[in-house]
A and B are shown apart, each in its own frame.
Chain A
């Protein structure tokens, strides 16, 4: 191992054989590493060796480079110039159509090969050339699986970081939009890009992001989930403090609000920081539909959030401790349904919740054709057979179904899942201590939620701390012509549009035209 590290640190020499041997020793005998030797310049006979990774490098580019070298290099007068200058001329005159650079360290050359580039070793030249030839098969841009919309762009991120940055660049053609690169992972050397708009981004945020990213010392990053877990503010919290999205439009909107985005190669999920809790309840459609439609559906989602968090707990609490709070006709209906159920309400709710989670998980993991069969069996078992067998009451089935539907109405899957998890302590407290338990656990959750920050920003802002100017885009989605200013967090260029953009007839010219 130490030997390999020493080899990686070594520099290339003027000796061609030594350089090739060095590369072979470092790269081993891996079958996907291709070595191709050619002779260029018929008068000088310069041996050259190409190293690249099969599957990562674009064969056409390599073929073209070899052709260029073999057929056109003779135009350069090698006898006069010597091979050192000849290679320099090759770089500037013959391969100028592709991105090409020189390196003198073995580590850089190896890294280039494993990233899909091609290394060219030439005799008599103490450096090696790196020809940019990355070209592997990638998934095409498709509609995001987890964040579909009725109205809005259908493009989603892919596993290619460059495709992903391009998708955002296409939406913001501003030279102030910067992508800063770094690599994380001792073995994976995963490309990570941090995007932000200079002049809008919150001061200090980019430095903070880089500081946290540089702190990561790990062998491999296989998905942005790794990074999310390694840089979040409150690792023990059930709340998700870093937003992940598959939607380029969401990332573009976040950047325009003064936030930063973290792109990770091989992951279609881009991270957005800082994040506020309320963003998980907002969907992209809210901004593309008319404002009152957006507001209405946003409110539905707030109700869904409340139901998802509290519906089973409130039901358990009412039926276990505070039956007098239920209107008499309703109480009698529930009681008749529960007459044959042998379990206490808390147990019944827990059984149902766990069964539902089981079905959800099984439906997710199973192959799609079997998944539909699974859902039929599940719904029959839970919806009908369990009730008929007297294991659960029909009312409990309704409550759990409403809760499940509500949890799926939350647009962000990670947030929806964390809310689903929080249901359990609330339910257990409600079922054991009644209103006292519900109030106490709810309060503990509130206190914890209030203490959470995301990259320095209070998680529940702009509700608490209360920011009046940001209320235009929290519970309500005000019309675009009213949202002149960017959110409080953005700094610098605070206005996203000029004032008084409300459309309508030109009042200066006497209002709307008459039929005459």
Chain B
């Protein structure tokens, strides 16, 4: 029996895929360009993310038992399908690097400055591989634990930093102009891109087809609600300049938050909760890469590809994280082009081509009929 997950779990996975990077690293990147309007940039980005998510769901709805690469192979043939799988591997290679940047710099910059980077990468690799071997259903349930951690973290940060917030920091509205803010939102687009690419791969494993679009777009909206308070608080508490100054600006917010005298440092509570979502992200990246790799090599089972995929992802992640300049360069310049060119063009092309080319039924479809 093929693994099936519920629509609720899909939403949980989307939230976990977006949250860790979007609350800190992305806000820092956007603050350097859009200043106090990072929350507006996030709104723009959420709208774009919802559209791409809807498009992805609509494509899969045409052939509900096939993911994007399989659908492409039905439309254009086997080799195009394999090419799409290769693109997906490349996409998740970059995504994993950004996940590692988020995870490693949280730990390294704020808690364990003397810890070897390799150890952090290896720990993420071990946890990731262990999780992926348990399958999507277990990952989905773990993602629900991640959602609980996210809610707890948000509530704690809200309690600890709301009294420090200065609304005047959010003014003037659209300070850097609409177009600049829109352009700055591309950093947040990359977060949605990871969520939509994941959905394009796992949606056939989600149970109720009739509410796929609601679950997909709902997942984006819920993620936006979870992430939404962070740009407001970061600008309101830290100021846009300080937010833009840090790679992991959310930790700076957590550092300034306090409840009374005895809970004066939030970083550890924050990372304790944050680690769950971050490691879920790690696992999903490995899972999606393994699935794409198994499609590329024509394997029916993803398990033989889990360890090789995880090793490749970790090696690349290690290389990126080892040099902070390289990591920031990837985040600021390379990753938006890399991620968005794949995550936007792929669904758009497949959707448009699918309007004109009606896939011929495969022998298995005929058998089913």
Q: A446 and B268: CB pair below 8 A?
A: no
Known A434-B112, A435-B111: A443·B279 in contact at CB below 8 Å? yes
Q: How far is the CB of B154 from chain A (nearest CB, A)?
A: 18
Q: Return 24 A-B CB contacts under 8 Å, by A number.
A: A322-B111, A325-B268, A327-B261, A434-B115, A435-B112, A435-B268, A439-B271, A439-B279, A440-B279, A442-B275, A443-B127, A443-B275, A443-B276, A443-B279, A446-B142, A447-B127, A447-B130, A450-B134, A458-B141, A460-B141, A463-B148, A464-B142, A465-B8, A466-B8
Contacts of B262 in A (CB 8 A): 327, 330
Determine the distance from Cα of A260 to Cα of B8 in the docked complex, in whole angstroms: 29
Determine the distance from Cα of A439 to Cα of B120 in the docked complex, in whole angstroms: 11
Other A-B pairs, 10, CB within 8 Å; known A324-B265, A466-B144: A435-B275, A439-B272, A443-B279, A444-B130, A447-B130, A447-B138, A450-B134, A464-B141, A464-B144, A465-B144
Q: Enumerate the 3 nearest inter-chain pairs by beta-carbon distance, A residue then B residue, closest first.
A: A439-B275, A464-B144, A450-B141
Any B CB within 8 A of the CB of A10: no
Contacts of B112 in A (CB 8 A): 321, 434-436
Contacts of A325 in B (CB 8 A): 265, 267-268
Known A435-B107, A436-B107, A436-B115: A447·B265 in contact at CB below 8 Å? no
Determine the distance from Cα of A18 to Cα of B349 in the docked complex, in whole angstroms: 91
Q: How far is the CB of B302 from chain A (nearest CB, A)?
A: 16
Determine the distance from Cα of A437 to Cα of B127 in the docked complex, in whole angstroms: 11
Which of A318, A438, A439, A442: most chain B Cβ within 10 A?
A439
Any B CB within 8 A of the CB of A38: no
Provide the A462-486 mask, 1 if CB < 8 A to any CB of B, else 0. 0111100000000000000000000
Any A CB within 8 A of the CB of B123: yes
Contacts of B119 in A (CB 8 A): 433, 436
Contacts of B6 in A (CB 8 A): 465
Contacts of A438 in B (CB 8 A): 272
Chain A residue with the shortest CB-CB distance to B134: A451
Known A321-B112, A330-B262: A440·B107 in contact at CB below 8 Å? no
Determine the distance from Cα of A450 to Cα of B264 in the docked complex, in whole angstroms: 33
Provide the B134-145 mask, 1 if CB < 8 A to any CB of A, else 0. 100010011011
Determine the distance from Cα of A435 to Cα of B279 in the docked complex, in whole angstroms: 14
Known A443-B275, A446-B142, A447-B130: A433·B9 in contact at CB below 8 Å? no
Contacts of B145 in A (CB 8 A): 446, 450, 464
Contacts of B134 in A (CB 8 A): 447, 450-451
Among candidates B123, B126, B264, B267, residue contacting A327 with C-beta atoms closer than 8 Å: B264
Q: How far is the CB of A193 from chain B (nearest CB, A)?
A: 33
Interface residues of B in 80-116 (CB under 8 A from A): 107, 111-112, 115
Chain B residue with the shortest CB-CB distance to A438: B272
Interface residues of A in 282-318 (CB under 8 A from B): 318
- B interface residues, how many (CB within 8 angstroms): 32
Determine the distance from Cα of A330 to Cα of B261 in the docked complex, in whole angstroms: 11
Interface residues of A in 414-455 (CB under 8 A from B): 433-440, 442-444, 446-447, 450-451
Interface residues of A in 156-213 (CB under 8 A from B): none
Determine the distance from Cα of A116 to Cα of B330 in the docked complex, in whole angstroms: 80
Interface residues of B in 209-243 (CB under 8 A from A): none
Q: How far is the CB of A382 from chain B (nearest CB, A)?
A: 27
Q: How far is the CB of B160 from chain A (nearest CB, A)?
A: 14
Contacts of B267 in A (CB 8 A): 325
Contacts of A434 in B (CB 8 A): 111-112, 115
Provide the B20-37 mask, 1 if CB < 8 A to any CB of A, else 0. 000000000000000000
Determine the distance from Cα of A324 to Cα of B264 in the docked complex, in whole angstroms: 10
Contacts of A437 in B (CB 8 A): 123
Known A434-B111, A450-B138, A450-B142: A440·B127 in contact at CB below 8 Å? yes
Chain A residue with the shortest CB-CB distance to B149: A446
Determine the distance from Cα of A198 to Cα of B40 in the docked complex, in whole angstroms: 59
Q: How far is the CB of A100 from chain B (nearest CB, A)?
A: 51
Any A CB within 8 A of the CB of B200: no
Determine the distance from Cα of A435 to Cα of B130 in the docked complex, in whole angstroms: 19
Determine the distance from Cα of A504 to Cα of B148 in the docked complex, in whole angstroms: 36
Determine the distance from Cα of A327 to Cα of B8 in the docked complex, in whole angstroms: 40
Provide the B163-185 mask, 1 if CB < 8 A to any CB of A, else 0. 00000000000000000000000
Any A CB within 8 A of the CB of B131: yes
Q: How far is the CB of B273 from chain A (nearest CB, A)?
A: 10
Contacts of B107 in A (CB 8 A): 435-436
Contacts of A451 in B (CB 8 A): 134, 138
Determine the distance from Cα of A438 to Cα of B123 in the docked complex, in whole angstroms: 11
Determine the distance from Cα of A471 to Cα of B274 in the docked complex, in whole angstroms: 25
Contacts of A466 in B (CB 8 A): 8, 144
Chain B residue with the shortest CB-CB distance to A439: B275
Among candidates A446, A447, A465, residue contacting B9 with C-beta atoms closer than 8 Å: A465
Determine the distance from Cα of A344 to Cα of B107 in the docked complex, in whole angstroms: 23
Provide the A254-270 mask, 1 if CB < 8 A to any CB of B, else 0. 00000000000000000
Contacts of A330 in B (CB 8 A): 262
Determine the distance from Cα of A444 to Cα of B31 in the docked complex, in whole angstroms: 35
Determine the distance from Cα of A447 to Cα of B137 in the docked complex, in whole angstroms: 11
Determine the distance from Cα of A434 to Cα of B142 in the docked complex, in whole angstroms: 22
Chain A residue with the shortest CB-CB distance to B144: A464
Contacts of A458 in B (CB 8 A): 141
Known A322-B111, A443-B279: A436·B120 in contact at CB below 8 Å? yes
Determine the distance from Cα of A439 to Cα of B145 in the docked complex, in whole angstroms: 14
Chain A residue with the shortest CB-CB distance to B115: A436
Contacts of A433 in B (CB 8 A): 115, 119, 123
Contacts of A321 in B (CB 8 A): 111-112
Determine the distance from Cα of A437 to Cα of B148 in the docked complex, in whole angstroms: 21
Determine the distance from Cα of A318 to Cα of B279 in the docked complex, in whole angstroms: 22
Contacts of A318 in B (CB 8 A): 268
Interface residues of B in 5-26 (CB under 8 A from A): 6, 8-9
Chain A residue with the shortest CB-CB distance to B273: A439
Which of A451, A464, A466: most chain B Cβ within 10 A?
A464
Determine the distance from Cα of A426 to Cα of B311 in the docked complex, in whole angstroms: 26
Q: How far is the CB of B257 from chain A (nearest CB, A)?
A: 13
Determine the distance from Cα of A460 to Cα of B137 in the docked complex, in whole angstroms: 13
Determine the distance from Cα of A458 to Cα of B6 in the docked complex, in whole angstroms: 14
Determine the distance from Cα of A437 to Cα of B275 in the docked complex, in whole angstroms: 11
Determine the distance from Cα of A330 to Cα of B120 in the docked complex, in whole angstroms: 30
Q: How far is the CB of B347 from chain A (nearest CB, A)?
A: 29
Contacts of B275 in A (CB 8 A): 435, 439, 442-443
Provide the A494-513 mask, 1 if CB < 8 A to any CB of B, else 0. 00000000000000000000
Determine the distance from Cα of A446 to Cα of B142 in the docked complex, in whole angstroms: 7
Q: How far is the CB of B262 from chain A (nearest CB, A)?
A: 5
Contacts of B272 in A (CB 8 A): 435, 438-439
Chain A residue with the shortest CB-CB distance to B124: A440
